[in-house]
Amino acid sequence: MIHNGRMLAVIGGSGFYSFFGPEARTVNLDTPYGPPSAPITVGAVGDHEVAFLPRHGVNHEFSAHTVPYRANMWALRALGVRRIFGPCAVGSLDPRLGPGAMAVPDQLVDRTSGRADTYFDSGGVHIGFADPFCPSLRAAVTGLPGVVDGGTMVVIQGPRFSTRAESRWYANQGFRLINMTGYPETVLSRELEMCYAAVALVTDLDAGIEAGQGVRAADVFAEFERNLVPFKQLLHEAIDSAANTSGVSTCTHCMPHEGVTLPIVLP
């Protein structure tokens, strides 16, 4: 296995459990944090080698708060991945951004609790996280037709959806998207010096946006399924754009450890 740091990765969200056909190879990896959500498949997108990992497992056996995030990110880095697209289902807190829209958030607000969100449990290490998403990978997606640029994504604990009051509160703060998995995936990528950009597919308007409406899991999955083919096509185009314009490894923005002695050895 060659660990050359050139491989891109896609982490599939709810309803997104495969990315390649039977020609892909399967890689089983263990980590100091246990096994990842599923075996990683490695295939080709055009001329580019790409790793795929379903965030929730092949059969959606992991809810958002039980996903083995540390194992997932560690396994991808150990495989040689240095740049990651994180497609995900999101609710919209902006009525102008309806179901089927594809958006790339530029900011994140963490409202989760109790999730293991660091590899540095010793050593007094701090990382910059003011701009949580990789600007190079974001640009590779936002430059594509029909993609919405920008917006703050608030990440809630789950597995429940928001109350109407919570939803209105988030919207009043100016947050645009709501999701359950963007944290700690994003910060763990930064700790491992991997570029990361979330790519969001809007599946619903959140509870506080439409009077009388609420979010149902069945509707979220159905909307994601309706848009899965164009969503995958968007990711193919983003991978091609990133591979051709963003270099081959981690950008300087996503390498926070310069001059710092880490308490662990990165894989």
User: Would you please indicate which residues are annotated as catalytic (active-site) residues?
Assistant: 204, 206
Instruction: Say if residues 105 and 176 touch (Cβ distance below 8 Å).
Output: yes
Is 1 one of the annotated binding-site residues? no
Is 204 one of the annotated binding-site residues? yes
Is 115 one of the annotated binding-site residues? no
Is 181 one of the annotated binding-site residues? yes
* 81 strand-pairing partners: 7
Is 73 one of the annotated binding-site residues? no
DSSP 204-217: EE-TTTSTT----H
Encoded tokens for 123: 């050593």
Is 110 one of the annotated binding-site residues? no
* 41 strand-pairing partners: 26, 52
Is 102 one of the annotated binding-site residues? no
Q: For residue 130, how many other CB atoms are within 10 A of its CB?
A: 5
Q: How far apart are CA 161 and CA 176, in angstroms?
A: 16
Angle at which helix 135-142 crosses helix 228-245, to 10 degrees, equals 130
Find the helix or strand (DSSP H, E) in which 202 lies.
strand 195-205
Is 180 one of the annotated binding-site residues? yes
Q: What are phi and psi of 9, to 5 degrees?
A: -135, 155
Binding annotation for phosphate: 14, 55-56, 181
Binding annotation: 14, 55-56, 180-181, 204-206
Binding annotation for substrate: 180, 204-206
